[in-house]
Amino acid sequence: MSTPSLLILPGDGIGPEVMAEVRKVISWFGEKRDLNFDVSEDLVGGIAYDTHGTPLTDATMAKAQEVDAVLLGAVGGPKYDTLEFNDKPERGLLRLRKEMDLFSNLRPAQCFDALADFSSLKREVVAGLDIMIIRELTSGIYFGEPRGIFKDGNERVGINTQRYTESEIDRVARSAFELARRRSNKVCSMEKANVMESGVLWREVVQKVHDEDYPDVELSHMYADAGAMQLCRWPKQFDVIVTDNLFGDLLSDAAAMLTGSLGMLPSASLGQPMANGRPKALYEPVHGSAPDIAGQGKANPIACILSFAMALRYSFDQGTEADRLEQAVETVLADGYRTADLLNVEGAAFSTTSEMGDAITAALDASL
């Protein structure tokens, strides 16, 4: 059996720092668990623009299409704010998502017990939280046409189009129901069917998919604004939430802060199965490039490490090893290790990015 392939794209800001800690973990699995990966590395985002004049070269895009999974750090930074829209670092990430057809974005929000007091919500509200938000990633208002800034009489008008087809809604709904069957068998679909025609279609298609193929899964519908309120009031009422691109972006960031820090949250973007049965896949932390702390050893590598854990689970069928890695993270947090973003936990010791990575590999050693 061939060695599974992994393309690493560290990107900008803290991306290279957190990815260096992931490489330690990848090496550990090769050395201690005989789980080896054919790892290659390339550029994306601002550093790709600085080097090649584009946020993603055709050659890198081709590599991403060929490998079993892509692991990305972060893209962007204020130094690129004045670039033309199509040259901005984020366009490289959007191109990856679009051309790989990564329509299903899995964003877990899990609150580790050691960090329950770090959340802005009460401990009893967030302790034990484990929900999954599935965001449709390749359509909706971020991709719809027409779009742009146009002259209308004596003023300019900015236009973006919210557009969804039945098939686009159908396939992301199926991914939500399939995942729910492996969890608590419960899905809440969120849209704005009260004011948006795309929301009406969304609700109709999700209900149809449920009734025809997944009647065993509990399905509820909720307006996205009410969903945001309920996430803050009592998030543990949810298990799997499925929603569109824009609302998924907003709701998953809101859910992120329930856990205490964006630096804790991974994500997976999945597409259709390839010839080898593995899905097209891109894994990345939810946090941004944080250029203000880049190079200072303050970045939290856990989200990027947990993104690799998601790759183990969803791309490489290594659920037991993914559990091992997630447990190592939980152990390290329980032992009091904290990066700068987690420093207001009483009695916590400051850990650099590298020290946190070393502590996690040590916890992996202890798991054997």
Read off the pLDDT band of 254 (50, 70, 90): confident
Q: Which of 225, 239, 323, 358 is catalytic?
A: 225
Kindly state the average pLDDT of the residues 57-86.
96
All domains of the chain in start order, with CATH? 1-108+263-368 (3.40.718.10), 130-258 (3.40.718.10)
Q: Which residues of 249-270 are buried (b: 16+ CB within 10 A; e: fewer)?
A: bebbebbbbbbbbbbbbbbbbb
pTM for this entry: 0.90
> What is the predicted pLDDT for the residue at 340?
86
Residue 341 is among the residues annotated as catalytic for this protein: no
| pLDDT tens figures, 271-329 | 999 999 999 999 999 889 999 999 999 999 999 999 999 999 999 999 999 999 999 99
358 is catalytic: no
- Known catalytic residue at 280: no
Orientation of helix 245-258 relative to helix 224-233, angle to 10°: 10
**CA angle, residues 243, 286, 33, in degrees to nearest 5:** 110
Find the catalytic residue in 12, 68, 244, 249. Answer: 249
Least confident span in 114-118, 138-142, 277-281:
114-118
Confidence check: pLDDT of 344 > 70: no
Is 225 among the catalytic positions?
yes
Euclidean distance between CA atoms 23 and 20, whole angstroms: 5
The H or E element that residue 104 is part of is: strand 104-110
Q: Single out the catalytic residue among 12, 164, 192, 244.
A: 192
Q: Is residue 323 annotated as part of the catalytic site, yes or no?
A: no
Mean pLDDT of 332-337: 92
pLDDT reported for residue 346: 57
Give pLDDT, residue 258: 85
Torsion of Cα atoms, 234 then 197 then 98 then 209, to 10°: 70
